Chains A and B, each alone.
Chain A
Amino acid sequence: NAGVMQNPRHLVRRRGQEARLRCSPMKGHSHVYWYRQLPEEGLKFMVYLQKENIIDESGMPKERFSAEFPKEGPSILRIQQVVRGDSAAYFCASSPIVAGLIYEQYFGPGTRLTVT
């Protein structure tokens, strides 16, 4: 059973470009979460999605950031007009949901975004 897949593993963008980060959850998992790890801030929740729905985006910056999890295909975290402060490791996680219980989230290897 393949784990959570993220690509690319490393992404370099110039200021002002767009960054697209992809995440495929584990087989059988219907919930996807995105987290950001900044050196001085630690790991922070960004957004939680189910297929075709954003459930909780309370951790997403209000501008330039968006996320989707379409019916088919991976979840995408999109950052428009990147700035140096967006340089970070972005982790995707997935979990199964059974009868509303909370299960552990399994993380992908992360995408390291560098903005030059």
Chain B
Amino acid sequence: AQKVTQAQTEISVVEKEDVTLDCVYETRDTTYYLFWYKQPPSGELVFLIRRNSFDEQNEISGRYSWNFQKSTSSFNFTITASQVVDSAVYFCALIQGGSEKLVFGKGMKLTVNP
């Protein structure tokens, strides 16, 4: 079975604070893919990052960084110096090897206050 858990449902921070969004996944396969998507208030889903199970290298893209740790089955997402425009629901998702369907976590609503 495959499952994605985002334990935090809602976080509120003040602008310029750093915030980390947790994601824990479960899968039996050794080959899998992890994703983060952003859903701003306008409602569309925006792709942020894809990671495959063989690549544990962490990634940084501007103020965004991702920490992938197979030992703890986690794929956490950090926003540094948060901005009001970061306010959105963030989804972590998993594709298990041999499948092409995204399994989403329940999402985490981030509110960044000015």
**Residues of chain A whose beta carbon lies under 8 Å from any beta carbon of chain B:** 31, 33, 35, 42-45, 48, 55-56, 58-59, 89, 91, 93, 95, 102-110, 112
Contacts and interface: CB of A to CB of B under 8 A. Distances in A.
Given A43-B91, A102-B33, A48 B43 contact: no
B101 A42 contact: no
B47 A105 contact: yes
Interface string B76-114: 000000000000000101010001111111110000000
Interface of B: 33, 35, 37, 43-47, 50, 52, 91, 93, 95, 99-107
A35 B91 CA distance: 14
B47 A33 contact: no
A104 to B, nearest CB: 5
Nearest to B52: A102
Contacts of A108: 44
A48 B91 contact: no
A107 B50 contact: no
Contacts of A102: 33, 52, 95, 100
Nearest to A89: B43
13 contacts: A33-B100, A42-B106, A42-B107, A45-B102, A45-B103, A56-B100, A91-B45, A105-B47, A107-B44, A107-B47, A109-B43, A109-B44, A110-B44
- Give the one of A44, A104, A106, A108 with max B CB within 10 A: A104
